[in-house]
Chain A
Amino acid sequence: MPSSDYDPASLPDLLPLYYRRLFPFSQYYRWLSYGGVQKNYFQNREFSFTLKDDIYVRYQSFSTQNELEKEMQKMNPYKIDVGAVYSHRPSQHNTVKSGTFQALEKELVFDIDMTDYDDVRSCCSAADICSKCWTLMTIAIHILDRALRDDFGFQHRLWVYSGRRGVHCWVCDEAARKLSVAARSAVTEYLSLVKGGDETVKKVVLTEPIHPFISNSLDVVKEYFTQYALHDQDLMGSKESVEKVLALVPEDARSYLQQEFEKEKKPEKRWKLITTEAKRKQVGNFAHSFYIVLHIRTEGLVVLQSVSLKSTAKKGQYFEKEIMLQYCYPRLDANVSKGVNHLLKSPFSVHPKTGRISVPIDVSELDKFDPFSVPTISLICEELDRPRPGEEKEKLGDGKEKEDEKDAIEKRKIRDYKRTSLAKYIKYFDQFLDGMARSWKAERLRKSDLQKEF
């Protein structure tokens, strides 16, 4: 799909068109109202806009969908961020007694940025991405989506392409929106395996026992590792790369492997050497600790002691797993997830540098997702003006009633996005909302039952 025609300078011309005819306001409003279960949920939501010349305005809030539309069409924001649902209307926060204006709820969100992987990808760096390293995002989404669904029980997870070099996740379940800061922080830590900055060489350390979450994550990584790491990233190819990998291997195994690598050059064989060596260590330690456990039990000491002995006795035995995780496991920006009031780029926002729309990602087709085929604003604006085969451009009604006119404009708008590449993404978003709507309905019924008089 040609999208290379985007020029950031044309944004001022394209944005008005986008906000007038393409931005899916009704779906957007449907999302953020959450079925009207809670009063003023939409009205108390904070938005922030980045306008031309980097002017940033916070605490924007709107009473109705119409007001939102009008404002956005007036301001033509370059970027839109979504924040928390507050105790009062954000636009009136200055009138509220200090201390009482508080962020109450927000979706649980995650931000995965390719730059956080610079130490482990050889194809690109910084803001660049390519199809080779995009696999990291695929892996990240598979791992996190599974955990959020199976471990935490979250049903409504929206994954969104950030527009340039990463992905965001919006967990929209009611339970997620109500999570405290402490809970968000705990969830984030549970999901974090890669720790340490530039100075840390070994960023993943595993001890016994291997938690089911880690095993499940490893299963995902293993699916992609050969193609991604051994081939695309040529992990076992260049001397430099091999050195980096071997730095993660315990010393005693390292020299042995270095020797073997003199003889063996094939990446897959080299990797096999590493995994075999690791397995050997694991079996050896297991036999040893089993003996210790038995021994201690017969002495009648506390079981606790035996377990702790087990984990200290074996260090670095899981190094093949640690390598895989260090190179492939998702790296989260904890600060984004922890704060209830943190603002995150909105779905369907435009990325000013690339022109790409932040579109939802269909997780069921995840492996087919290609960030380079995501439509840009210039593309879809262009598509708008292309007449569809056999269709004439609608003329605005002359002398029609106002309502009919409004109707017609709405209908036209709906037809508008449908003839652009944006269509399938909005359709997917609709399905996502339909999924949530069922729970909203149930909630509304429950609430009205409670209020019924007998």
Chain B
Amino acid sequence: MQFGGRRKKNSINPQSELYGQHLQFYGQPPLENISLSEFETFAVERLKLLKTVENLGVSHVKLTDLYISKLEKELKLVYSYRKNDFYGPTEYEKRRKDHISHFILRLAYCQTEDLRRWFIQQEVDLFRFRFNDLDPKQQLEFLHKNNLRYDTISSEEKLKLKDQLINSSFGVSGITVMEHEFYKVPFQDALDLVRLRKVYLKQGYAYIPHQDIVTIVLNDFRTRLSKALALTARSLPAVHSDERLQPLLNHLSHAYVGQDYSIQKNVGKISLDQIDSLSGKSFPLCMRQLHQSLRENHHLRHGGRMQYGLFLKGIGLSLEQALQFWKMEFIRGKVDADKFDKAYAYSIRHMFGKEGKRTDYTPYSCMKVILSNPPSQGDHHGCPFRHSDPELLKQKLQVYKVSPSGINQVDSSFSLNHPNQYFLESQKLLGGGKDIKREMDAPQRSQENAASKGSTATQEVAANTSQHLAEMTEDLDSFFQDA
């Protein structure tokens, strides 16, 4: 195997064996020396890629054409890819970078459950994409090289077992059997399929259709990575003692986590009578909506109370203020003071960590608002860009006077992922004396971007919604341009 034109000692060392393929399981750590700057660059680039994977994965159904072409674009620039470029870094260089950057990020992301989960999820998605891109021969080669003893079965065998295969595997018809590959896998490697009896078993082997083999390989990858991260975490103290690395690694992992707005910096700086005007000026659309419906109905259901209540906490409301705020509003409705104290006060105190297991709950990020607890009839929480009827949303935006020029201006460097972030940025801008309307519109627009994310759970639904949202934004454009 020829590796580029670089004269490197490394081409003789066993590491280069690893780079014989486009894709690897990252079983062996890199053994060479690299400079600090390379260390940092590699890490940051991979992090960017993983964030792209994350964003694409939420806004597109994974593995649809759009998703694939977008990810392809990002990937090609940086990493080893089946369709090689003739220009740019050599294959060897790309694979080496892939290898090293993965291991660096392991150091940064092994520390907590959340970090690990995020890292594993993106790496698995990236792996799935790259694996699917290999042609069948390369895939088989990959499996064998990595000791996954999976062989395809011959056409004769397929014919012989046709009925059993049809009756065992989900979504497999007679045509599928003859046209697609089937792999013979030791049953111990396909436990999820065996457990549910969704696969044909014979003499200790599971006969798996191609569509399912990817799942198995992915599960294998996920398990290996998970174990490796646990091991890595144990050696962290040694790594952290190196002062050159520690700040860099911390920076890398915080770049993901971001702020959670739980530390109340401005407690008491907001007074209750400011809330109404603030809601018009600096609240993101979801919170504005919740506030409005609270004022109108003198009530909010649990989902709404949580989302809005925590947001208020995040902008600086104290517990006493919050209790007063909610009580004043609720007694205007059907709830009397006594009932409020009995039924609702507890949950507000709970939000502030004063009851029960005393968790000081953090305000919801956009992702959380969008993906968990979708609103149903009678609810007002959620994300309007995700959960609202497009027509209603159009109306609302109109009411809130989002100007046409505002819609067109997309501030690409501003990425919104938290309602409290919106509030802070908005207050900053307002405080800075800039043109309120124009600047506010940019956040509004990037809210749409951030929010046009479907749930990956029901992929088809998400696809439709994304489509709707895409159409809707286009409609909005034309609508406001006409106005």
Q: Give the distance in Å from the alpha carbon of A183 to the alpha carbon of B205 in the complex.
A: 13
Contact, CB under 8 Å: A179 / B164 = no
Contact, CB under 8 Å: A303 / B171 = yes
Contact, CB under 8 Å: B203 / A150 = yes
Q: Give the distance in Å from the alpha carbon of A150 to the alpha carbon of B200 in the complex.
A: 11
Kindly supply a per-residue 1/0 record for chain A positions 154-188, scoring 1 wherever the CB is within 8 Å of any chain B CB and 0 otherwise. 10000000000000000000010001101101110
Tell me if B405 counts as interface (CB < 8 A to partner A): no
Interface residues of A in 184-222 (CB under 8 A from B): 185-187, 189-190, 209-215
State which size class the interface on A falls in: 20 to 34
Q: Give the distance in Å from the alpha carbon of A211 to the alpha carbon of B194 in the complex.
A: 12
Known A179-B188, A212-B168; contact A153-B204, beta-carbon cutoff 8 A? yes
Known A210-B167, A304-B171; contact A190-B194, beta-carbon cutoff 8 A? yes
Q: Give the distance in Å from the alpha carbon of A187 to the alpha carbon of B203 in the complex.
A: 13
Chain A residues lying within 8 Å of B196, measured Cβ to Cβ, are 189
Q: A153-B204, A210-B167, A212-B164 are in contact. List 15 more A-B contacts (CB 8 A).
A: A151-B201, A151-B202, A152-B201, A154-B204, A179-B188, A180-B188, A182-B191, A183-B191, A213-B197, A213-B201, A214-B197, A215-B167, A303-B171, A303-B176, A307-B170
Can you list 14 pairs linking A and B with CB atoms under 8 Å apart? A151-B201, A151-B202, A152-B204, A153-B204, A153-B205, A154-B204, A182-B191, A186-B194, A186-B195, A211-B197, A212-B167, A212-B168, A213-B197, A213-B201
Interface residues of B in 185-234 (CB under 8 A from A): 187-188, 191-192, 194-197, 200-205
Closest 5 CB pairs of A and B: A153-B204, A153-B203, A186-B195, A151-B201, A186-B191
Chain B residues lying within 8 Å of A185, measured Cβ to Cβ, are 195
State which size class the interface on B falls in: 20 to 34
Q: Give the one of B166, B203, B205 with max A CB within 10 A.
A: B203
Tell me if B173 counts as interface (CB < 8 A to partner A): yes
Closest Cβ of chain A: how far from B151's Cβ, in Å? 16
Chain B residues lying within 8 Å of A189, measured Cβ to Cβ, are 195-197
Q: Give the distance in Å from the alpha carbon of A185 to the alpha carbon of B176 in the complex.
A: 30
Closest Cβ of chain B: how far from A390's Cβ, in Å? 51
Kindly supply a per-residue 1/0 record for chain A positions 21-65, scoring 1 wherever the CB is within 8 Å of any chain B CB and 0 otherwise. 000000000000000000000000000000000000000000000
Chain A residues lying within 8 Å of B187, measured Cβ to Cβ, are 152, 183
| Residue of B with least CB distance to A301 | B460
Contact, CB under 8 Å: A209 / B188 = no
| Residue of A with least CB distance to B165 | A212
| Residue of A with least CB distance to B188 | A183
Which of B176, B195, B204 is within 8 Å of A190, CB to CB?
A: B195
Q: Give the distance in Å from the alpha carbon of A186 to the alpha carbon of B194 in the complex.
A: 6
Q: Give the distance in Å from the alpha carbon of A154 to the alpha carbon of B204 in the complex.
A: 7
Kindly supply a per-residue 1/0 record for chain B positions 328-343, scoring 1 wherever the CB is within 8 Å of any chain A CB and 0 otherwise. 0000000000000000
Q: Give the distance in Å from the alpha carbon of A304 to the alpha carbon of B176 in the complex.
A: 12
Chain A residues lying within 8 Å of B202, measured Cβ to Cβ, are 150-151, 153
Which of A152, A175, A211, A307 is within 8 Å of B171, CB to CB?
A: A307
Q: Give the distance in Å from the alpha carbon of A303 to the alpha carbon of B169 in the complex.
A: 13
Known A189-B196, A190-B194, A190-B195; contact A211-B204, beta-carbon cutoff 8 A? no
Q: Give the distance in Å from the alpha carbon of A151 to the alpha carbon of B176 in the complex.
A: 22
Closest Cβ of chain A: how far from B459's Cβ, in Å? 11
Known A151-B202, A154-B204, A175-B204; contact A211-B167, beta-carbon cutoff 8 A? yes
Which of B166, B195, B205 is within 8 Å of A209, CB to CB?
A: B166
Chain B residues lying within 8 Å of A212, measured Cβ to Cβ, are 164, 167-168, 200
Known A303-B173, A304-B171; contact A190-B203, beta-carbon cutoff 8 A? no
Interface residues of A in 208-258 (CB under 8 A from B): 209-215
Closest Cβ of chain B: how far from A55's Cβ, in Å? 39
Q: Give the distance in Å from the alpha carbon of A303 to the alpha carbon of B188 in the complex.
A: 29
Closest Cβ of chain B: how far from A219's Cβ, in Å? 14
Closest Cβ of chain B: how far from A201's Cβ, in Å? 23
Kindly supply a per-residue 1/0 record for chain A positions 279-323, scoring 1 wherever the CB is within 8 Å of any chain B CB and 0 otherwise. 000000000000000000000000110010000000000000000
Q: Give the distance in Å from the alpha carbon of A52 to the alpha carbon of B281 in the complex.
A: 83
Chain A residues lying within 8 Å of B203, measured Cβ to Cβ, are 150-153
Contact, CB under 8 Å: B167 / A209 = yes
| Residue of B with least CB distance to A149 | B203
Q: Give the distance in Å from the alpha carbon of A189 to the alpha carbon of B187 in the complex.
A: 13
Q: Give the distance in Å from the alpha carbon of A288 to the alpha carbon of B1 in the complex.
A: 58
Chain A residues lying within 8 Å of B176, measured Cβ to Cβ, are 303
Q: Give the distance in Å from the alpha carbon of A179 to the alpha carbon of B166 in the complex.
A: 28
Chain B residues lying within 8 Å of A209, measured Cβ to Cβ, are 166-168
Chain A residues lying within 8 Å of B173, measured Cβ to Cβ, are 303
Chain A residues lying within 8 Å of B164, measured Cβ to Cβ, are 212
Interface residues of A in 112-167 (CB under 8 A from B): 150-154
Q: Give the distance in Å from the alpha carbon of A248 to the alpha carbon of B191 in the complex.
A: 31
Chain B residues lying within 8 Å of A303, measured Cβ to Cβ, are 171, 173, 176
Chain B residues lying within 8 Å of A179, measured Cβ to Cβ, are 188
Chain A residues lying within 8 Å of B166, measured Cβ to Cβ, are 209
Q: Give the distance in Å from the alpha carbon of A153 to the alpha carbon of B205 in the complex.
A: 8
Kindly supply a per-residue 1/0 record for chain A positions 395-419, scoring 1 wherever the CB is within 8 Å of any chain B CB and 0 otherwise. 0000000000000000000000000
Q: Give the distance in Å from the alpha carbon of A212 to the alpha carbon of B204 in the complex.
A: 15
Closest Cβ of chain A: how far from B242's Cβ, in Å? 30
Q: Give the distance in Å from the alpha carbon of A180 to the alpha carbon of B191 in the complex.
A: 11
Interface residues of B in 128-173 (CB under 8 A from A): 164, 166-168, 170-171, 173
Q: Give the distance in Å from the alpha carbon of A187 to the alpha carbon of B197 in the complex.
A: 9
Chain B residues lying within 8 Å of A210, measured Cβ to Cβ, are 167
Contact, CB under 8 Å: A211 / B168 = yes
Known A152-B187, A183-B191; contact A190-B197, beta-carbon cutoff 8 A? yes
Closest Cβ of chain B: how far from A193's Cβ, in Å? 9
Chain A residues lying within 8 Å of B188, measured Cβ to Cβ, are 175, 179-180, 183
Q: Give the distance in Å from the alpha carbon of A71 to the alpha carbon of B404 in the complex.
A: 92
Kindly supply a per-residue 1/0 record for chain A positions 87-115, scoring 1 wherever the CB is within 8 Å of any chain B CB and 0 otherwise. 00000000000000000000000000000
Chain A residues lying within 8 Å of B194, measured Cβ to Cβ, are 186-187, 190
Closest Cβ of chain A: how far from B370's Cβ, in Å? 25
| Residue of B with least CB distance to A182 | B191
| Residue of A with least CB distance to B196 | A189
Q: Give the distance in Å from the alpha carbon of A154 to the alpha carbon of B205 in the complex.
A: 11
Chain A residues lying within 8 Å of B200, measured Cβ to Cβ, are 211-212
Chain B residues lying within 8 Å of A211, measured Cβ to Cβ, are 167-168, 197, 200
Q: Give the distance in Å from the alpha carbon of A428 to the alpha carbon of B168 in the complex.
A: 36
Q: Give the one of A179, A185, A209, A212 with max B CB within 10 A.
A: A212
Chain B residues lying within 8 Å of A153, measured Cβ to Cβ, are 202-205
| Residue of A with least CB distance to B192 | A186
Chain A residues lying within 8 Å of B191, measured Cβ to Cβ, are 182-183, 186
Q: Give the distance in Å from the alpha carbon of A342 to the alpha carbon of B37 in the complex.
A: 55
Closest Cβ of chain B: how far from A107's Cβ, in Å? 16
Kindly supply a per-residue 1/0 record for chain B positions 169-186, scoring 1 wherever the CB is within 8 Å of any chain A CB and 0 otherwise. 011010010000000000
